[in-house]
Structure 1
Amino acid sequence: MKAADAVVFAQRIHTLDPQTTGATALAVTDGRITAVGTPQDIERHRGPGTRTLDYRNATIVPGLNDSHTHVVFGLELARGIQLTDLGPLTEVQRIVGDAARKTKPGDWVIAWGLDPNIFNSTGFNGRLFDDATEDVPMFLRMRDGHSAIVNSAALAAAGITGPVEFPDESLIDVDDDGRPTGYIVEFSALDLVGKAIPQEPFAVRVERLGTLLHEMAGVGIASTHVLDFVDGSAELATALETKGELPVRLRFSPMVNAGAGLAELERIADLQGTGGRRWRVEGVKFFIDGTIDNGSAWLEEPDIYGENNESVWTDPGDFQKALRFFVERGIPTATHAIGDQGVRYVLDALAAAGPDRCKAAHRIEHIETIPDDVVERFAELGVAASMQPIHGTHHTRADRSDNWSVRLGEERASRGWRCRDLREAGVTLALGSDWPITPYDPRAMMADSILRRPVEHPETQPVQPEQALTVLMALEGYTTHAAAAAGLQSDAGSISVGKRADLTVFECDPLSLDPEELPRARVITTLLDGLPTH
């Protein structure tokens, strides 16, 4: 028997493996767990070169996994001024105006996290910022990441003077005279404006990505499912690996955009399995709809404004064909579906794939409002739910006065983020942040999913408290269920012999804390392959 490279000790180890309980030690060989048990059980694995990692009174859990991030795409999404939770409109105008006065020639004012609720009385219109910014182009990305507000100078810089036709449901909004209002919806339209924005140097992007991953590891994240593979992703990850090991394991799933042809599907299929030491391409990401806040989700009945009633795919049948292409090849899929009809349609498409569906793990992202029969359909089909309940706790209000709830009305708003119902139905429920749409700290994410309100605002009324998870369910959402949702349960998710030695070490026991205390639970270290990352 080969001696272990390392033996690891702690007061308690939550293996989340029902076959191994009460563990306080484990052995690591070649980056894999080779033994779990008591210190006496582990001793026979020690050799002359075996390292000892003794975390004494700490608690070890499987390495936390954020099931939905955009760590490369997010570098662009999170450029500039952070406007998260700022308002009212006059305050944002002041902030943007101050930034415009400080720009150099050729610069843009760029910001992100804009709250759509600040436009409740005015409607979405970028001209509202023209006086504050004058001739400085401005790009304010909404907090949903699917829409933006731009001023007249930005429209001019992008050469946009009227309506634009797109192959999907993207939109350059125009007024009754055909003049662009500065409200931009969905990725094809966002890209049209984005091409005019000065790009960051490659070296700056490498540094920003490295900093982000180290900060994520610092709060206990060992891995993340990156639901895109935008241009530059491979180059950035490779550049970081020339400097050392990545502190977070990255699983990239390229986006399949609406209208993608066979050549594009084959290109994405050919990318599967490529990667580096701690990053790889695995799975694909679809969109069936947009977001409720900007009117581009797909509901069974339109919202109160007559919107949110279309698929992102102009012909949803093309989505089914593209999905089937990957299902038949055993390639995992993840589909963004927010509205009840969008979620139902994806489930129907997966059901139509028949036995081929069992070749790989398939999941639906977000799932913001669904009726009872759709909850049951997840369980029947074995499709995983990947959710971000923090979107509900931060972006909606218990009194239903927020934009999301107003659009939906009481009945559909009361079906929001049904985490507990899905779990009790036996559905795999992975949790994540959708960074940079919301912050990535998993401790706050888990706390919010238990409290159903922002953990940092105890005065806030919980939204649908009956959908609260237990602390164990929340931890499973970042470990065992996160692995299962991606089909990685044989490799990750629990502390079991044969799995990767990816671990998160807490100073205290997260399962014994009140949810209000979770965000302050200090992470001593995160380990990948049995090696501390920071």
Structure 2
Amino acid sequence: MAQLGGDLALVGAQLRTNTTATAGDATAILIRGGRISAIGDDAAVRAEAEAAGIEVRDLAGATITPGFFDSHTHPHWAAEVTAGINLGGLETVAEIRAAIAAEHARLPEGAWVRGWNLEYEPFEETGLRGELLEDAAPGRPVALICYDLHTGLGTAPALAAAGIAGAREFDDASEIVVDADGTPTGELREPTAYQLLFDAAPSPTHDQERDGLRDMFRTLAAVGLTGGAIMDGKDRTVELLTELEARGELDHRVTMHHWHAVGDTDADVARVIAGKDRAGRLWQTGAIKLFSDGVIDTGTAWLHTVDACGDGRAPFWPSWDRYGEVVRAYHDAGMLIATHAVGDYAVSRVLDVYATLPERAGLPFHSIEHLEVLSDADVAQLRGSGVTASMQPLHMQWRAPDHSDNWTVRLGPERDATGYRVRDVLDAGVELTLGSDWPVAQYDPRLGMAWARGRHTPGDPGAHVFEPSQQLTGEEAVLAYTLWPARARGHHDRGVLTVGAVGDLTVWGADPVTATPDELPELPVRLTVVDGRVIHEG
């Protein structure tokens, strides 16, 4: 069945409109056909709704904001990855082995043990080695992925099933890690390498994959998210979005960034450009995701100076000129480009390429994703660039006040203060958007706002605060999940509460702007409304 926008009236609310055009005493919103048709006082909106036979809900003082949008997420991938064991928080190899053994005992013969959210710290002394885990699931393939989605780990049965017997050359910086004798250790760095492992594992059926994505979107709605930018899109994602919308089961507003792999050819680029206008009522393509580097934890981030292990000076692309050619092709085709750049030098080099691009009248400019570490010179280079900085302060949750975490050890404690400089970026006049990188980190925007504002473990007022000078205000954190993501994509009818805007709303039990960072994680989500339809009610 065709998916149509809904009708809904909400009264008795406090409105955070993100615009000065709406009267300050407005307390009610009317949505017709998926778009806001009236904003005013309770009596006027109620009368109009009742005359049209539209449901009226009294929110009894709850706060309405424009729908929250996650600017960097992987829900399609997450629906598959998170099907295994959640290994987050397991601090020793023994704990990981115990979790694998329990899953081994539960699974039927022939099934793989899958796990996600694996942390690097338990393997600091030994390195990531599959042999450490093999006898926890004798004879059974075990395939795990680290929390940052940049490293996989497989046991010998899993490597054998995937045909991984030694090192290989890849088009990008991916690597099958091997011992001195050429035997794979089980560590697989970056997606091109570890995808060999996961492609060998049993796949879900078509219906399972489709329904898994549908259910993932509904899970995201339960924390107030009405949409997101998918950063690992592929043709299969388009097929599933199309099918879900045709079935009336798409409950998320999506911008899909097609994932460009380093090895993609000019023909691949042309094919993606040819399909750039594919869209539905709630989803659109026309966007690209590329990588310029990896992550700090594995030494694959591209840094101005080497890390503590002597790594960090290699880009993801063997030819940086090729990166520039690809970016120019997509830019000239009118597409929106997002480039992953964790390291400070990667950010600078991406900015160099972006600076060569001609203006495109009426189209938004491109983004850089993550920007985890920035030198003062990089912040200055961002100023006036027109770039959107898509950042995730939420990822600071893995830092330790005593500098013992893997990220800081790799980067060096003298440089950890250059991490997650959201305040400096914003003060440089750069538009900022926030996101989760789910399933790398929790998808809950309340946690995302709490970390961006408090820069400490939410709910623990006595916790160490990382770089307090970089804290955002309550209003800035909300804008970075609503208005600013909309502007970054050239949308004038999103991220605001105004007549004509899309009917995407997040209704909170209290005002997220005035709630403290420590209160945010428990802030009730009363309603999540997408296209005028109530997707979640808490």
| TM-score normalised by structure 1 residue count | 0.94
Q: 2:248 maps to which residue? A: 244
**How many residues align structurally?**
529
Contact 1:155 1:193 in 2 (8 A): yes
Range with greater deviation from structure 2 (422-431 or 335-344): 422-431
Contact 1:384/1:427 (CA < 8 Å) preserved in 2? Answer: yes
Structure 2 partner of 1:199: 203
Partner of 1:169: 173
User: Partners of 2:42 and 2:86 in 1: how far apart?
Assistant: 48
**Contact 1:431 1:478 (C-alpha < 8 Å) held by counterparts:** yes
- In the other structure, the counterpart of 2:324 is 320
Residues 126-145 of structure 1: pairs in structure 2 closer than 5 A: 126-145=130-149
**What amino acid is aligned across from residue 410 of structure 2 in structure 1?**
R
Give the superposition deviation at 1:498.
Answer: 2.2
Residue 304 of structure 1, CA deviation: 1.4
Please say if 1:518 is aligned against 2:516. Answer: no
Structure 1 residues 491-529: Cα deviation after superposition (integer angstroms, max 9, x where no partner): 211112222121111122222212211121111111122
The yes-or-no answer on 1:406 pairing with 2:412 is no
Q: Does residue 1:506 correspond to 2:522, yes or no?
A: no
What residue number does 1:88 align with? 92
Q: Which residue of 1 aligns with 2:33?
A: 30
Range moving further from structure 2, 49-58 or 403-412: 49-58
Q: CA offsets, 1:462-504, max 9 Å, x none?
A: 222221111111111110112122222x121111222212111
Percent identity at matched positions?
Answer: 37
Q: 1:402: Cα distance to partner?
A: 0.7
Match of 2:389 among 381, 385, 391: 385
Q: Deviations over 1:201-255 (max 9, x none)?
A: 2222223222221121121111111112135313332333344242211211101
Cα contact 1:228–1:253 (8 A) shared by 2: yes
Distance 1:106 1:516 in 2: 46
Shift of 1:460: 3.4
Alignment of 1:227-242 (within 5 A): 227-242=231-246
Moved more, 72-81 or 43-52: 43-52
Q: How does 1:53-452 map to 2 (within 5 A)?
A: 53-356=57-360, 359-392=363-396, 394-452=397-455
Partner Cα separation in structure 1 for residue 72 and residue 208 of structure 2: 24
Given that 1:303 and 1:407 are in contact with CA atoms closer than 8 Å, whether structure 2 keeps it comes out as yes
Q: Aligned equivalents of 2:212 and 2:304: distance in 1?
A: 41
User: Counterparts of 1:430-509 in structure 2 under 5 Å?
Assistant: 430-458=433-461, 460-488=463-491, 490-509=492-511
Deviates more, 1:230-239 or 1:497-506: 230-239
Code of the residue aligned with 1:473 in structure 2: it is E
Q: Counterpart of 1:420 in structure 2: which amino acid?
A: R
In 2: Cα distance, 1:360 partner to 1:493 partner: 15
Report the 3-state secondary structure (helix = DSSP H, G, I; strand = E; otherwise coil) of the residue aligned with 1:227.
strand
Query: Could you list the per-position Cα deviations for residues 312-371 of structure 1 after superposition, in whole angstroms to 9, with x for gaps in the alignment?
Result: 111111011101111122211111110011111111110011324973331011110011
- Given the superposition, is the C-alpha separation of residues 246 and 230 from structure 1 closer, same or farther in structure 2, using an over 3 Å criterion? same
Query: What is the distance in 1 between the residues matched to 2:171 and 2:406?
Result: 28
Q: State the match for 2:3 in structure 1.
A: none
Is 442-451 or 179-188 further displaced after alignment?
442-451
Is 1:49 the counterpart of 2:52 in the alignment? Answer: yes
Deviation per residue, 1:81-139 (Å, 9 max, x gap): 00112111221122113323443332111100001111111122222212323321111
CA RMSD of aligned residues (A): 2.0
CA contact (8 A) 1:328 1:357 kept: no
Instruction: Give structure 1 stretches of 5+ with no counterpart.
Output: none
Note the C-alpha offset of 1:50: 4.7
CA drift of 1:140 comes to 1.1
Cα deviation, residue 378, structure 1: 2.0
Name the aligned partner's letter for residue 461 of structure 1: H
Q: TM-score, normalization: structure 2? A: 0.94
2:294 and 2:81 map into 1 onto residues whose CA distance is: 16
CA distance, structure 1, for counterparts of residue 420 and residue 88 of structure 2: 21
How many Å separate the matches in 1 of 2:502 and 2:360?
A: 28
Alpha-carbon offset, residue 46 of structure 1? 5.3
Q: What displacement does 1:44 show? A: 8.4
Cα 1:361–1:53 shift into 2, 3 Å: farther
- Give the superposition deviation at 1:433: 0.7
Aligned partners of 1:121, 1:21: CA distance in 2, in Å?
61
Alignment partner of 1:533 is 2:520: no
* Partner Cα distance (2:12, 2:268) in 1: 49
